[in-house]
Amino acid sequence: MQTRLELILGDITKAEVDGIVNPTDLILSGGGSLAGLDKQIHNAGGKEVDLACEEIVELQGGCQTGEAVITTAGNLSAKYIIHTVGPIWIGGEIREPELLASCYRECLRLAVEHGIESIAFPAISTGNYGYPIEKAAPVALTTVKEFVEHARHSESKAPGLIQFFLFEKETYTCYVKVLSDLGFRLSCFLE
């Protein structure tokens, strides 16, 4: 089975997929004082998502940078939300690219583990965490491409549809350019 990769300019809370990825903080707080995408996703998912995150924090203390956890999606059309903690950009010298790549790999690993056939990613860490889009996009797209290629070669699974929901035109344009630089079209199959 091939994996289709799509770039979409739009709101990830409206994605028609099995799972969406939520860029969160260490305690899965739903954004707290930062009114970003984490807060939007929690608001759209409702109380059920908040309770599921609180339970994870109680059981394991939250989620570390570069890791991911999974919950119900509550009121969203998706079945699951995969919460991941991206790195805060501090100039690229403190393992930020490695930690960002880990976010994407861990989300895809959880997706496969839970039978998620379609997943939507945002541009992790590029909002309030300050990761420059032009540096984050190659990490994101290359990591996803490598995950799918590894799955094909090892005869393991990968989601059949991977979407990137990019909220701002500047971010979308950057991802389109990076995808083109990797030799792929706007909507393509990863081999």
Domain count, the chain: 1
11 is catalytic: no
Distance, in Å, from the CA atom of 4 to the CA atom of 191, rounded to the nearest integer, reads 9
**pLDDT confidence band for 140 (50 / 70 / 90):** very high
* CATH number, domain containing residue 179: 3.40.220.10
Helix (H, G, I), strand (E, B) or coil at 179: helix
User: Cα angle at 15 between 38 and 185, to 5 degrees?
Assistant: 110
What are the tens digits of pLDDT across the range 79-95?
A: 999 999 999 999 998 99
In which band, very low, low, confident or very high, does the pLDDT at 30 lie, cut at 50, 70 and 90? confident
Exactly one of 11, 18, 25, 38 is catalytic; name it. 38
Contacts of 131 (CB under 8 A, 6+ apart): 86, 87, 88, 89, 96, 100, 124, 125
Counting residues of the chain whose pLDDT is more than 70, the rounded percentage is 94
147 falls in which pLDDT band (50, 70, 90)?
very high
Parent domain of 34: 3-190
| DSSP result, 34-58 | --SHHHHHHHHH-HHHHHHHHHHHH
Report which of 87, 176, 82, 164 is spatially closest to residue 128, judged by C-alpha positions.
Answer: 87
